[in-house]
Amino acid sequence: MAAKQNKVIVTCAVTGSIHTPSMSPHLPVTASEIEEAAVGAAEAGASIVHLHARHPVDGRPSQDPDLFMKFLPAIRERSNVVINLTTGGAPNMLVEERLQPALKLKPEVASLNMGSMNFGLYPMLNRFKEFQHDWERPYLEGSDDRVFKNTFRDIKYILESCADNHTRFEIECYDIGHLYTAAHFMDRGIVKGPLLIQSVFGLLGGIGPHPEDVMQMKRTADRLFGSDYYWSVLGAGRNQMPIATMAAAMGGNVRVGLEDSLWEGPGQLSRSNAEQVKRIVMVLQALNLEVATPDETRQMLQLKGADQVGF
């Protein structure tokens, strides 16, 4: 079974690349907005903040390390929260571009997708009809013919490129086969435990959000990784809170944030990342669970420490 724990790691994914600025006025876009959102999430109880960057003018996803540097030092100065940078970037980016922030800025944690997949964002066009920027509609429309490429070579390239940084990885698993890929790289010694396995549910192209899907992910991860991993979940869209609650009751860790869901309830946009963190913290407290502090999270995941990053 997953590593025994008395504390729950709460990750907040602050802005991401799935949603576009036109979908919500509350989605952080500029450096100052991302900074405030990350610090607010930490103050609300997040153990980790997971960060992407965006072009400040039109909100396009960007992996330019210079854009990350416009908010990372300020977040680190204002908060002790663990900072997790994306290597996913956006599905239309090459792996070399996606790697740059983690490679150059040396975070304590970085995300890493465990497989290529269809990444279907186009159903969002059923809900959102009007867009502010020229890139938004084509970005969503094109996802019906877009493969998010993460080959074995890509994964190895990212892992080995960041090895000297001593960055640990949030292992993103969108389907059962991705767990086996993680086990493959663990068997080869390219990634070492304790792993942070982030299971993703409800994104078109990956595993669904049914309770049976959640349990199957957990059972498979337990069998593959034994006590050498921490299991965390994220549910896309309206699945966010139900799946987080289910996983917490099963002994898992949780991820919330506007990257994964823009919604507070049916037809009601969430006003901030902090709002979602506060909500899941209340759920955890109702389950008699405690949230891990950033330093407890560092100890659990055997992180290198905030003084060893490159920002």
What pLDDT band is residue 6 in, cutting at 50, 70 and 90? confident
Mean pLDDT of all residues in 25-29 = 98
Quick one: CA torsion of 167, 61, 259, 147, rounded to 10 degrees?
-90
282: burial class by Cβ within 10 Å (0-12, 13-18, 19+)?
A: exposed
Query: pLDDT tens-digit profile of 209-243?
Result: 999 999 999 999 999 999 999 999 999 999 999 99
At 34, which amino acid appears?
Answer: I
How much is the pLDDT for 1? 44
pLDDT at 247 over 60: yes
pLDDT for 241 equals 97
Segment holding 296, helix H or strand E: helix 294-301
pLDDT tens readout for residues 9-19: 999 999 999 99
Break the chain into its structural domains and give their ranges: 7-308
Assessment of whether the complete model's pTM goes beyond 0.75? yes
Going by C-beta distance under 8 Å and a sequence separation of 6 or more, which residues neighbour residue 14?
A: 28, 34, 37, 38, 41, 49, 50, 51, 52, 257, 258, 259, 273
For residue 37, what pLDDT is reported?
98
What integer pLDDT is reported at residue 5 of this predicted model? 65
Summarised one tens digit per residue, pLDDT across range 119-167 is: 999 999 999 999 999 999 999 999 999 999 999 999 999 999 999 999 9
Q: What is the CATH number of domain 7-308?
A: 3.20.20.70
Mean residue pLDDT of the chain comes to 96
pLDDT in tens, 83-115: 999 999 999 999 999 999 999 999 999 999 999
Residue-wise pLDDT tens digits, 260-305? 999 998 889 999 999 999 999 999 999 999 999 999 999 999 999 9
Model confidence pLDDT, tens digit, residues 39-74: 999 999 999 999 999 999 999 999 999 999 999 999
Kind and range of the H or E run holding 7: strand 7-8
pLDDT tens by residue, 248-259: 999 999 999 999
